[in-house]
């Protein structure tokens, strides 16, 4: 009897692990179907879906980063108040006094940067494998929505530390909205349609004529509630469609 | 060079340098498989494997790897926090978040309504339209270049242009949004005499009215390249064009010419100091 067998038969081992895991076909399927999270998967997939050189795992990594951002983001919300009086001080407090506060903030920021990069790479792999072709056209469209939402999430979050970097990056970014044709007061045909600095589309976005406290609150609500909810909704459709469209795309049998 | 290294190692810029390397690596990974598949063919008899353990173990390992990277990154590099926001103190240069630097860079060449609103809208719509415009059924589900040369080249052009604009905006744009080479120090007092002229002026046209007409003609002429190409394709590839249909062709040609208009305008600006091609009382292009 091997040592491993001896350990497995000992009273202690058997008291902890009531029975072993037998690597059989039904067991492999049960592992997936009897777990609410793993049940996102089918019980079996095309072999090349497990080939890391094919999918690069990029969609999955993007999703993982979204989860990391949700968890760290919720904890950050305990310490952060979205008003001009407190926002900056709360970040300072977080950095210097909250245990692991700096670490938390770092992880939220770096995961956000990384997520933008991984969606970008995921899109590249989907394109290079021609995986947007029928029947997956619509899932590509959903994907583009997710790309836009990812960028908007990142953009709205950028303002929240309320430091010089944040305020001016958002100022540069939102200044372009002034020039929206028809809807911005500096855009073509804007003045003709009665657009002014205090009633055009940029005003709607910022709640003011410049990036001030109302903009901070608006971006906070968008960043923590509206956009994540939208992103989750689109992700649900995205994952569901991956399965409904027949799993990860594969070479047709004849061409 | 010191200045350049300073910018390169700014905490927020490290991911951008990383992105460049990752994009290059993954292009290599994708294209090298495409070349192999084009040469030797692909396996079309793919069988199924159980998710547990074959997929879940990869997910587990990938999760571990990413979490280790994030943890080490978060311990070693701190997120930046500058002074309190101050509306009366404009930094120079003021930069948009890095993923929007492509837009900010386009502002150099186009007015804000084009660079900041119209082009981004076309980019998003254009991306969404790809599956409905590319009717080539070949090359689904495996890396291939030979089967879809045009599609891959056009997409990569836009994809890499975006990356390039981000790199330029982050690392080569200094105070006043002037271009600085890596070996140049950022000079806040740099002033460059603006000698920009409009395209009609270059051709000796001085009257406002005729400038407008001329500029309009140039823009129209540029887009009518699509018409000539249509006639050419119809002669050479009649079958293909019949399948594609006129509407699809018009959309593809319009989006494609709009995309290439950016590098064209960059070229005109950099080498001929052209500010606008077309001036009108309402908008300038
Ligand atoms: C938040 C962003 C996104 C998440 C979390 C996500 C997640 C995923 C996941 C987990 C898969 C399974 C296969 C894989 O990992 O490659 C997938 C497939 C797919 N994704 Fe995404 N994705 C996102 C954004 C996008 C974008 C930007 C596009 C395209 C513009 C896109 C288009 C697709 C398509 C067409 C498939 C099916 C691929 C196939 O059948 O081979 N997704 N996505």
In a domain? residue B121: yes
Give residue ranges with CB within 6 A of ligand 1: A 55, 58-60, 62-63, 66, 119, 122-123, 126, 129, 131-132, 136, 139-140, 143-144, 146-147, 150, 235, 238, 242, 248-249
Same domain (yes/no): B142, B258: no
- Write the pLDDT tens digit of every residue in A85-118: 999 999 999 999 999 999 999 999 999 999 999 9
Same domain (yes/no): B49, B110: yes
State the average pLDDT for chain B: 91
Atom 4 in ligand 1: which residue has the minimum CA distance? A59
Most A-contacting residue of B38, B96, B125 (CB-CB within 10 A), to test interface = B96
**Chain-chain contact of A211 with B47 (C-beta, under 8 angstroms):** no
Q: What was the ipTM of the complex prediction? A: 0.94
Nearest atom within ligand 1 for CA of residue A234: 1
From the CA of A117, how far away is ligand 1's center (Å)?
Answer: 13
Q: Is the pLDDT of residue B63 over 80?
A: yes
Of B128, B159, B187, the one marking the end of a domain is B187
Residue B157 to chain A, least CA–CA distance (Å): 12
pLDDT score, position B26: 98
Atom 20 in ligand 1: which residue has the minimum CA distance? A143
Same domain (yes/no): B63, B19: yes
For A21, the domain range is 1-44
Q: Which residues of B touch A149 (CB under 8 A)?
A: none
Count how many Cα atoms sit within 13 Å of the Cα of residue A227 in the half-sphere of its side chain: 23
**Chain-chain contact of B73 with A110 (C-beta, under 8 angstroms):** yes
Kindly state the tokens that stand for A35.
């777990």
Sign of CA dihedral A238, A239, A240, A243: positive
**Chain-chain contact of A165 with B82 (C-beta, under 8 angstroms):** yes
Of B154, B187, B220, the one marking the end of a domain is B187
Considering only CA atoms, which of B90, B83, B69, B87 is closest in space to residue B15? B69
Angle between helix A58-79 and helix B56-76 axes, rounded to 10 deg: 50
Range with lowest mean pLDDT among A122-131, A163-172, A220-229: A163-172
Q: Is the pLDDT of residue B248 over 90?
A: yes
Q: Is the pLDDT of residue B188 over 90?
A: no
Of B155, B187, B219, the one marking the end of a domain is B187
pLDDT score, position A107: 98
Same domain (yes/no): B178, B206: no
Same domain (yes/no): A65, A19: no
> Which whole number is the average pLDDT over B54-59?
95
Pocket test for ligand 1, best of A133, A144, A238 (most atoms within 8 A of CB): A238
For B2, the domain range is 1-80+97-187
Count how many Cα atoms sit within 13 Å of the Cα of residue B269 in the half-sphere of its side chain: 16
Q: Which of A53, A171, A188 sits opposite B29 (nearest CB)?
A: A53
Q: Which residues of B touch A95 (CB under 8 A)?
A: 78, 81
| Range B231-247 burial, b when 16+ CB lie within 10 A, else e | eeeeeeeeeebeebeee
Atom 12 in ligand 1: which residue has the minimum CA distance? A59
Q: Is B273 helix (H, G, I), strand (E, B) or coil?
A: coil
Same domain (yes/no): A69, A122: yes
**Chain-chain contact of B27 with A162 (C-beta, under 8 angstroms):** no
Same domain (yes/no): A94, A215: yes
Same domain (yes/no): A128, A218: yes
pLDDT score, position B3: 81
Q: Which residues of A touch B106 (CB under 8 A)?
A: none
Q: Which segment, A80-94, B87-101, B102-116, B207-221, is predicted with the most confidence on average?
A: A80-94
Predicted TM-score of the model (pTM): 0.94
């Amino acid at each position: 009897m091997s040592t491993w067998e001896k350990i497995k038969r000992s009273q202690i081992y058997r008291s902890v692990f009531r029975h072993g895991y037998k690597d059989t076909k039904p067991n492999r399927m049960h592992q997936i179907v009897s777990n609410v999270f793993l049940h996102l998967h089918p019980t079996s997939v095309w072999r090349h879906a497990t080939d890391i050189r094919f999918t690069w795992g990029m969609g999955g990594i993007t999703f993982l980063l979204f989860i990391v951002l949700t968890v760290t983001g919720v904890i950050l919300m305990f310490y952060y108040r979205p008003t001009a009086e407190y926002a900056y001080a709360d970040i300072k407090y977080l950095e210097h006094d909250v245990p692991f506060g700096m670490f938390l903030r770092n992880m939220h920021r770096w995961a956000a940067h990384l997520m933008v990069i991984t969606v970008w790479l995921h899109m590249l792999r989907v394109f290079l494998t021609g995986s947007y072709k029928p029947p997956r056209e619509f899932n590509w469209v959903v994907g583009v929505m997710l790309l836009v939402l990812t960028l908007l999430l990142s953009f709205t979050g950028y303002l929240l530390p309320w430091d010089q970097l944040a305020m001016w990056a958002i100022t540069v970014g939102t200044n372009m909205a002034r020039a929206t044709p028809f809807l911005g007061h500096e855009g073509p045909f804007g003045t003709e349609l009665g657009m002014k600095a205090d009633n055009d589309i940029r005003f709607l976005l910022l709640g003011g004529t410049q990036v001030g406290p109302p903009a901070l609150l608006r971006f906070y609500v968008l960043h923590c509630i509206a956009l994540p909810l939208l992103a989750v909704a689109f992700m649900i459709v995205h994952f569901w469609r991956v399965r409904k469209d027949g799993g990860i795309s594969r070479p047709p049998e004849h061409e | 060079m010191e200045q350049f290294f300073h910018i390169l190692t700014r905490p927020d810029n490290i991911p951008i340098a990383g992105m460049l390397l990752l994009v290059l690596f993954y292009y290599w990974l994708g294209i090298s498989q495409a070349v192999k598949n084009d040469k030797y063919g692909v396996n079309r008899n793919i069988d199924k494997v159980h998710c547990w353990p074959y997929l879940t173990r990869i997910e587990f390992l990938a999760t571990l790897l990413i979490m280790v990277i994030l943890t080490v990154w978060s311990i070693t590099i701190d997120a930046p926090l500058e002074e309190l926001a101050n509306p009366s103190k404009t930094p120079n240069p003021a930069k948009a978040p890095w993923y929007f630097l492509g837009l900010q860079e386009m502002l150099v060449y186009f007015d804000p309504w084009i660079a900041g609103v119209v082009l981004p809208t076309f980019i998003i719509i254009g991306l969404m339209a790809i599956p409905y415009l590319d009717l080539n059924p070949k090359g689904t589900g495996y890396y291939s270049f030979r089967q879809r040369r045009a599609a891959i080249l056009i997409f990569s052009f836009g994809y890499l242009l975006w990356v390039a604009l981000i790199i330029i905006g982050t690392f080569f744009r200094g105070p006043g949004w002037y271009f600085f080479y890596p070996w140049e120090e950022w000079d806040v007092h740099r002033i460059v005499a603006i000698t920009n002229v409009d395209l009609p002026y270059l051709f000796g046209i001085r009257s406002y009215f005729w400038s407008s007409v001329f500029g309009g003609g140039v823009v129209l002429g540029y887009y009518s390249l699509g018409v000539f190409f249509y006639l050419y394709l119809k002669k050479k590839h009649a079958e293909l064009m019949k399948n594609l249909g006129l509407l699809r062709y018009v959309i593809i040609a319009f989006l494609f010419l709009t995309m290439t208009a950016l590098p064209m305008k960059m070229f005109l600006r950099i080498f001929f100091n052209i500010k606008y091609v077309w001036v009108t009382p309402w908008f300038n292009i």
